Chain A
Amino acid sequence: MIILIIYIAIFAGSFFAIRFGVRKFRQMKDFTSLKTVTFGDESAVRPDRWASVISVVTIFLLWGAFTGSKWVPIHAPGPFVGDAEFTYTLEAPDGARDDATVFVRVFKVGEQVEPPEVEPGEGFAKNDVSTVGAWRSDLILMDKNDEITRDDGARVVAIDGQPVSAGDTVSVASGKVTITSKGSINFSPAGGMQMEPIWLPPPEAVVDRVGEIASAGYQNFTLWEHLYWSLYRVIVGFFFGALVGIPLGYAMGLSDWFRGWFDPIVEFMRPVPPLALIPLVIIWAGIGETGKIILLFLAALWIMTISARAGVSGVAISKVHAAYSLGASKWQLMRHVIVPNSLPEIFTGARVAMGVCWGTVVAAELVAAEKGAGMMIMVASRFQLTDIVIMGIILIGIIGYGIDILMRKAETWLVPWKGRG
């Protein structure tokens, strides 16, 4: 909630700062900036690059601030670490009361600490010591060293002078104390507002993991091998999908019989999400490479078929007529008119298919695999290695985005006539 409020505050604050600060000095005078009607004119809405930069920086700042990152100067209050103490009042069955102090050393998880050394103190209630990791809680059997114990009928009636009974929780200087139903004391040191690393590790931990897994590997394979195998499956699956799908799409666009024969199959298979085929593919082909590639082949096949068919039906009839009137044979028409004319459609299909394949391969690896990006993050999540999970998600995102950019670049390079017919 606090994070959301901070986020909105940065969003609004930077908007006003840029709008009334930077913009005043750097006024662009191109055509669009002279438009007076911008609200409703989609073409006049251009992404503000300042906003993009601040948006990305904000995410990292918030991430760092709420995970205690070393890279970020400002932090949200962290968990309490150090020595805490509180006093409990023990009441004996005869009504006599005595105070004793509990000393708790709160340490960072992962460090080794010794409990503090203290004097037992006066009276029948003796002072206690304990250690607890930050964000954790500790059950303190305060009466194990006392002269009168709970077995004798003693009970805790106050913490730091605040009266309590079983089940109550009271705040003390550096945490919370709860009296359990059996009468012992449960101490939780204050957690602060930062995230515990097992929920969300700081950015530097994720970066360190990249280095570690890139060199040492995880689950028998290095990071690059995991990513390589995922990409390899996508490329092989897509390649065979295109190899079969494009000719099939052409055949469906050029022949009545093919169209009639494959229409029901394609129209039925198209809406089936590839993820729904995972169980069947595992039954048929197991969890090895064959199964993955069959799955990705099927994911790419229908998309490529439909895009090739659309590419053929998209040929303007006047182009076909013109080619025949210029003496082209059927084969020449295919080679010089239908194929080039359908390339833009096929590229669009290929872009969609690559995206779908990338999503499908990660999902398939989540289900069952020996290696791959999806398998890496799934196994890491079972061991609560959140830094690997986050690293994996970021890399999967970057690769998916990279694939899309590459496909677009290839498109502008190979089919410059797209949309210009």
Chain B
Amino acid sequence: MSTLTIENISMRFDLPNGGHVQALKNVSLELRTGELMSVLGPSGCGKTTLLNILAGFLAPTEGRITLNDHPVTGPDAERGMVFQQGALFEWMSVRDNVSFGPRMAGKREKEWAGTVDHLLDVVGLRDFKEKAVYELSGGMQQRVALARCLANDPDVILMDEPLGALDALTREKMQGLVLRLWKETGKTIILITHSVEEALLLGERLLVMAPRPGRIHKEYRLPFADDGVGKDLREVKKNPEFGQRREEILSMIWDMEEEIMGRTEEAGA
């Protein structure tokens, strides 16, 4: 029922020097409720632009986006966002951050207190709810960001490299948490990442984008996210198919990067 439809999106903007950038060209997609799609691609392929358009922060020059059959025109509580870092409100406690959405909607504390406390339990921050967010570690801060997004009960969650700034160990734990939250809440999630492993582990669908102009290069359907729920993700990585896919996608992205380098060299010569 709840479907995110991206129809033929293009994004092209002028530069002050008279040139222009084609950030996205003819991107079309459809996501069903509860799907988790990870997006991979070399830098400059337009994945962040795509996410910003979905969130409603940018207007595409062509095409349209609909969520549940109504068009997306600006930011809205139905599409939650988790940023890489720095998006928490450091003047609020953990609990005030998590309850920000419901409070802005004008709900009374007794309406949201249960949900917020439950979410703090789920992300393991029950004992930290009165702490200031700047007292938390990077991983804990990202858990607050996840809980804050979920507390608002959005239809779609857009994640812009949410684990990119974390150290490798914390990152692995957080990947498990993302999978668990996805299964428990049944949200539609789009996750942008730079890590091929993360994209494979978490993406039920995996979109590889290519640059100049930004476009969809290839799409995969993967079993690993379903396999990984509630399991040790390292076990999933031992699956030979996982390794095979990883090599395939890595070399695909390498080729794209080399093509970009080549082009830049030609342009420079």
A residues in contact (CB < 8 Å) with B: 316, 318-319, 321-329, 332, 336-337, 340-341, 343, 415-417, 420-421
Contact = CB atoms under 8 A, between A and B. Distances in A.
A324 B86 contact: no
26 contacts: A316-B86, A316-B87, A318-B83, A319-B88, A319-B89, A321-B55, A321-B81, A321-B83, A321-B87, A322-B88, A323-B104, A325-B55, A325-B79, A325-B158, A326-B100, A327-B77, A327-B152, A328-B104, A332-B104, A336-B89, A336-B104, A341-B91, A417-B134, A420-B132, A420-B134, A421-B86
Per CB-CB distance, the 4 closest pairs between chain A and chain B, nearest first, are: A327-B77, A420-B134, A324-B75, A326-B101
A340 B101 CA distance: 17
B87 A319 contact: yes
Contacts of B89: 319, 323, 336-337, 340-341
A415 B89 CA distance: 13
Contacts, number: 77
A324 B89 CA distance: 13
B86 A327 contact: no
A312 to B, nearest CB: 15
Chain B facing A: main interface SS: loop
Given A321-B87, A416-B132, A326 B152 contact: yes
Interface string B58-97: 0000000000000000111101110110111111000000
Contacts of A318: 83-84, 86-87
A325 B77 contact: yes
B81 A322 contact: yes
Contacts of B158: 325
B100 to A, nearest CB: 5
Given A319-B87, A325-B76, A417-B132, 15 more contacts: A318-B86, A321-B55, A321-B81, A321-B87, A322-B88, A326-B100, A327-B76, A327-B104, A327-B105, A328-B104, A340-B89, A341-B89, A343-B91, A416-B132, A417-B91
Contacts of A324: 56-57, 74-75
A341 B158 CA distance: 24
A365 B86 CA distance: 47
B148 interface: yes
Contacts of B74: 324
Nearest to A337: B89
Nearest to B75: A324
B81 A420 contact: no
Interface in B134-165: 134, 148-149, 152, 154, 158
Given A341-B91, A417-B90, A322 B132 contact: no
A421 B101 contact: no
B47 to A, nearest CB: 16
Contact of A421 (B75, B80, B90): B90
Contacts of B149: 325-326
Contacts of A343: 91
Interface in B3-23: none
B75 A321 contact: yes
A319 B158 CA distance: 15
B38 to A, nearest CB: 20
A324 B73 CA distance: 13
Given A321-B81, A332-B104, A417-B132, A326 B87 contact: no
Residue with the highest number of chain B CB atoms closer than 10 Å, among A323, A325, A328, A329: A325
A213 B149 CA distance: 65
Contacts of B132: 416-417, 420
A328 B75 CA distance: 9
A325 B101 CA distance: 9
A316 B75 CA distance: 17
Nearest to B74: A324
Nearest to A325: B81
Nearest to B157: A325
A319 B86 contact: yes
Interface centre among B101, B104, B105, B149, by most A CB within 10 Å? B104
A323 B148 CA distance: 11
Nearest to B101: A326
Contacts of B90: 417, 420-421
B75 A325 contact: yes
